[in-house]
Amino acid sequence: GDSVTQMEGPVTLSEEAFLTINCTYTATGYPSLFWYVQYPGEGLQLLLKATKADDKGSNKGFEATYRKETTSFHLEKGSVQVSDSAVYFCALKGYGGSQGNLIFGKGTKLSVKP
Amino acid sequence: EAGVAQSPRYKIIEKRQSVAFWCNPISGHATLYWYQQILGQGPKLLIQFQNNGVVDDSQLPKDRFSAERLKGVDSTLKIQPAKLEDSAVYLCASSPGTGVDNEQFFGPGTRLTVL
């Protein structure tokens, strides 16, 4: 079935460092891909998405490009801030066995130190 | 615009007891989802409603879990009897529809601890 694999955390960075969180997927056909963020004490929020190959999603300085050839959707940010500390989830929405529902990775906890 | 509301925020029960969670979705959202998020894992879909009908409950442990959305608005999720492995955060989400352009909006979750 469809699945998402993302890099294990936690990830600890200093402020202004470059961030990459790796995400790869297995899916039938051409799923849509998402990054969600969960700040402490809050619900999941959609950070960005891409619905077809080579699309780039971006929001709040974060970017991710849908790479069909490598089945990847890595999250990047050029300069992280303390306020970016959160748990980040990669997810897909497929059209096969998952019936269009979101399938999440395990999450990667990011801590940014001043 | 009010977000997805859930209550209670925290619940502690002993195994074999029953528990219920409530969710009020964003007004006008036809689709409602319940997810289970076990510590260290991503959310896993339990059940999806479209208005007051069930679209997908394939991952709902039906011997102990039940859910309803009688008037197509708010929803309750019940566990009876609870097991230790049910300790998790239960997330409710809603969206206008089910297409890929329909963003799911999540509530803050209910953290359940089963002792």
- Chain A stretch 80-99, residues whose beta carbon is closer than 8 A to a beta carbon of chain B: 89, 91, 93, 99
CB atoms within 10 A of CB B97: 11
Q: Give the model's pLDDT for residue A1.
A: 82
Q: Give the model's pLDDT for residue A98.
A: 47
Alpha-carbon distances of A6 from A107, B40, B63, rounded to whole Å = 7, 12, 32
Q: Give the model's pLDDT for residue B1.
A: 66
Residues B33, A107: C-beta atoms closer than 8 Å? no
Q: Does A110 touch chain B (CB under 8 A)?
A: no
Residues A89, B106: C-beta atoms closer than 8 Å? no
* pLDDT by 10s per residue, chain A, length 114: 889 999 888 999 999 999 999 999 998 888 999 999 999 888 899 999 999 999 999 999 999 999 999 999 999 999 999 999 999 999 998 765 445 689 999 999 999 999
Q: Which of A105-114, B58-67, B90-99, B103-112 has the lowest mean pLDDT?
A: B90-99
| B2 vs A67, more confident | A67
What's the CA angle centered on B11, arms B7 and B15, to 5 degrees? Answer: 135
The Cα of B64 is separated from the nearest Cα of chain A by a number of Å equal to 23
Q: Give the model's pLDDT for residue A97.
A: 47
Q: Which of A66-80, A96-110, B18-32, B54-68 has the lowest mean pLDDT?
A: A96-110
SS3 A66: coil
Q: Are strands B110-114 and B10-13 parallel, antiparallel or unpaired?
A: parallel
Q: Give the model's pLDDT for residue A95.
A: 64
- Kindly report the average pLDDT of chain B as a whole number: 93
Q: Give the model's pLDDT for residue A96.
A: 53
| Contact residues, chain B, for A93 at CB < 8 Å | 100
Mean pLDDT, range B15-27, rounded to an integer:
96
Distance CA A36, CA A33 (A): 10
- % pLDDT > 70, chain B: 98
